[in-house]
Amino acid sequence: MNSRLMFLRNGKVITGLVILGFFTLLALFGPWLAPYDPNQVSDALLSPPSAAHWLGTDHTGRDILSQLVVGTRGVLVVGLVAGVSATVVGVLVGVTAGFVGGVGDESLSALSNMFLVIPQLPLIILIAAQLPSAGGLTVALVIGATGWAWGARVLRAQTLSLRKRDFVEAARANGERTWRLVLAEVMPNLTAVIASGFVGTVTFAVLSQVTLSFIGITPVSEWNWGTILFWAQNNLALQRGAWWWFVPAGACIALLGMALTLVNFGIDEIVNPRLRSTGLHARSLRRRGIRPRVGFTPVVREARP
């Protein structure tokens, strides 16, 4: 309970979660919140931000803010689906490899190392470009199918260090079955690692999907932030100086990515207390006149009020 509270007290995590919440709301209610239909053409061609169009319009007079708002759902759904599918595969492969050991472990970790070394983006492009219809969900599944290896590797290492611990040995001596050892003894101790892997995969999935839309692999009629950049790039937004066309979409991607990274930092600080005591309290340490020095990990305990 204590560590869970600490997770929520962390400033980075709060910032990250607030931003994520904002985008989730946009994804849920986007189509109703958008001021215009994102496909509706108008006479205001390529106009800079104004009261009528807060983020300006594109080359056919479509409202860019509406495209951004409506496109949020596409981005988040793909991130979520890809993150969940990659995490499921990663947990299956990683925990199995770490728990069974021997030949099974060798071959499973060789498999995940292979997927780590083969560059993912070209592989995703190769698969997505040959599919008859590469819609959002298809792309999400392709990303999930190729992006599980990192999580599997970390989980395997963690499982290896857990499976010889005393509490697992004790459970085994009690005659617990293997699946119960894994589910009840090992898995709960992997929660933080799984969560951080999930968040990392979602970040990667969002970046990949936006990139795929940008180079025009996903159907351009499906709105997401990459589609906006696709239209901007193909209609010379840069050369025409239409900054309102490509800056907001990129800023949204960066903001979402940052939010996810911040949440991951929070998880990392729970897993690695050294990062916590140095990162979290930097300001309070300085206020107390404690200068963190080499070789010492300062530990500060707040007195109970």
Partner 1 sequence: MRFLLRRVLFYALTAWAAITINFFIPRLLPGDPVTALMGRMQGRIDSQAEHSLRVLFGLDQDTSMGQQYVEYWGLLLRGDLGLSFTHFPTPVADIVNQSLPWTVGLVGVATIIAFVIGSLVGTFLGWRRGTWADGLLPVATFFQAVPYFWLGLITIAVLSVNLGWFPSSGSYDRGLVPEFTGEFIGSVIYYGFLPALTVVLSSVAGWVLGMRNMMVTVSSEDYVTVAHAKGLAERQVILGYAARNAVLPQVSSFALSLGFVVGGTLIMEMVFSYQGIGYALYQAVSTHDYPLMQGCFLVITLSVLVANMVADLAYALLDPRTRTEDR
Binding site for partner 1 (CB under 8 A): 110, 113-114, 116-123, 125-127, 129-132, 150, 203, 207, 210-211, 214-217, 229, 232-233, 238-239, 241, 243, 246-247, 249-250, 253-258, 260-262, 265, 268, 272, 274-275, 278-279, 281-282, 285-286, 291-292, 294-298
Query: Least distance (Å) from partner 1 to the CB of residue 124?
Result: 9
Least CB distance to partner 1 at residue 184 (A): 31
Nearer to partner 1, 181 or 212 (CB): 212
Q: Cβ distance 298 to 286 under 8 Å?
A: no
35 CB contacts (<8 Å, ≥6 apart)?
54, 63, 65, 66
Give the DSSP per-residue string, 233-283: HHTTTTTTT-HHHHHHHHHHHHHHHHHHHHHHHHHHHHH-HHHHHHHTTHH
Query: For residues 202 and 240, what is the distance between their CA atoms, to the nearest angstrom?
Result: 34
C-beta closer to partner 1: residue 194 or 212: 212
Taking the complex as a whole, how short is the minimal distance between the CB of residue 153 and partner 1, in angstroms? Answer: 9
Residue with tokens 């107390």: 288
SS3 for 139? helix
In the bound state with partner 1, the residue whose beta carbon lies nearer, of 11 and 35, is 11
DSSP type of residue 175: T
Of 181 and 210, nearer to partner 1 (C-beta) is: 210
Could you tell me the smallest distance in angstroms from the CB atom of residue 180 to partner 1? Answer: 33
- Minimum Å distance from CB 238 to partner 1? 5
Of 155 and 168, CB closest to partner 1: 155
